[in-house]
Amino acid sequence: MFTTALAQRENTQLGELPLDLFAAIQSLKKELNAVILAHYYQEPDIQDIADFIGDSLQLARAAEKTNADVIVFAGVHFMAETAKILNPDKLVLLPDLDAGCSLADSCPPDEFAAFKAAHPDHLVVSYINCSADIKAMSDIICTSSNAVKIVQQIPKEQPIIFAPDRNLGRYVMEQTGRDLVLWQGSCVVHETFSEKKIVQLKIAHPEAEAIAHPECESSVLRHASFIGSTAALLKYCQSSPTKEFIVATEPGIIHQMQKLAPDKRFIPAPPMNNCACNECPFMRLNTLEKLYWAMKNRTPEITMSEDIRLAALRPMQRMLEMSV
């Protein structure tokens, strides 16, 4: 887990790093009474030092239940905002404030407010991958784990706006038979997978199962034998008798897949171009070094106005109540 190269890396602006970052982070965690929450898409070192690893729903639940005084959120900005919404009196740290989200950015608050005003009789169900401002304009929040379940609980006569991910919204429509009004947002990572290359991989690996996140394009989903949230994909590959999987989601999850199913092979679904664009550039902004400095200096801190926090809290609470 610890390497000499890692020990020698330094941040020239903040000072010299300790020789053993893992031990230093563990010491700071005790000093601060901190908990480290990490998404499955984080780099392996961060996953290995985290107290809790999960998808958006699991992390929201963990944030709601923690007794720690400090939450160090190794994920992207909207996830750390979610932790602050649920824990206004705790210090919430994000290793890199630039760790945003292309999907959240695709739904500007002013434009969404106008979109919502054009559909005044609609209930707003928003995917958790959105800013606190969008959450504050929503009636219910959902994640990819519970989106279908939540929409199924809403009376059929009630019209619904689903935001911001059009691909997840389209998948929910197919699963529920509901006609949703979709905001046309998307995730750059999940839109980059190549249908042609996945088909080629299936031909080259005829025994492999393709599994995919519902944020992927429908052209990719139709080749998947299982579609589910990040946590659901992880659970499925453990329980399936299949020994080889083509994984159409951010490849950070493969670290956990390999740990939990070491006898199986996991092949990351390739992007359209010969690049690393199937990796989320925002998730990868967080590093073990930045996590250490965030804890050492108690910054960058997530803050928001109390009005926005309270408005965003209500739909978050509805999600947690409807996901029991």
Q: Is 303 annotated as a binding residue?
A: no
Check residue 283 and report its DSSP letter. Answer: G
Pull the structure tokens for residue 213.
């996140």
Q: Is 215 annotated as a binding residue?
A: yes
Q: Is 129 annotated as a binding residue?
A: yes
Q: What pLDDT does residue 8 have?
A: 39
Q: Is 187 annotated as a binding residue?
A: yes
Q: Is 214 annotated as a binding residue?
A: yes
What pLDDT, in 10s, does the model give residues 32-77? 999 999 998 899 999 999 999 998 878 888 998 999 999 999 998 8
The class of domain 21-101+284-303 in CATH terms is: alpha beta
What pLDDT, in 10s, does the model give residues 12-31? 346 789 989 999 999 999 99
What pLDDT, in 10s, does the model give residues 65-103? 999 999 999 998 888 999 999 999 999 999 999 988 888
Per DSSP, which regions of 60-119 are E strands? 70-74, 91-93
Euclidean distance between CA atoms 64 and 319, whole angstroms: 12
Non-local (6+) Cβ contacts of 178 within 8 A are: 151, 156, 160, 172
Check residue 186 and report its DSSP letter. Answer: -
Q: Are 1 and 22 in contact (CB under 8 A)?
A: yes
Euclidean distance between CA atoms 126 and 106, whole angstroms: 13
| CATH superfamily for domain 103-186+311-322 | NadA-like (3.40.50.10800)
H helix count then E strand count, the chain: 16, 12
Q: Is 289 annotated as a binding residue?
A: no
Q: Is 144 annotated as a binding residue?
A: yes
Distances (CA, A) of 114 to 33, 109, 111, 122, 213: 43, 9, 5, 13, 30
Half-sphere exposure of 208 (CA within 13 A, CB side): 23
CATH domain 195-279 topology: Rossmann fold (3.40.50)
The reply to whether 195-279 shares the fold of 103-186+311-322 is: yes
- Annotated domain spans of the chain: 21-101+284-303, 103-186+311-322, 195-279
The Cβ of residue 321 has, within 10 Å, a number of other Cβ atoms equal to 9
Phi-psi bin for 76: left (phi > 0), alpha (psi -120 to 50), beta? beta
DSSP line for 135-158: HHT-SEEE-TTTHHHHHHTS-TTS
Q: Is 127 annotated as a binding residue?
A: yes
Q: Is 56 annotated as a binding residue?
A: yes
Q: Is 128 annotated as a binding residue?
A: yes
Name the band, by pLDDT with cuts 50, 70 and 90, for residue 195.
Answer: confident
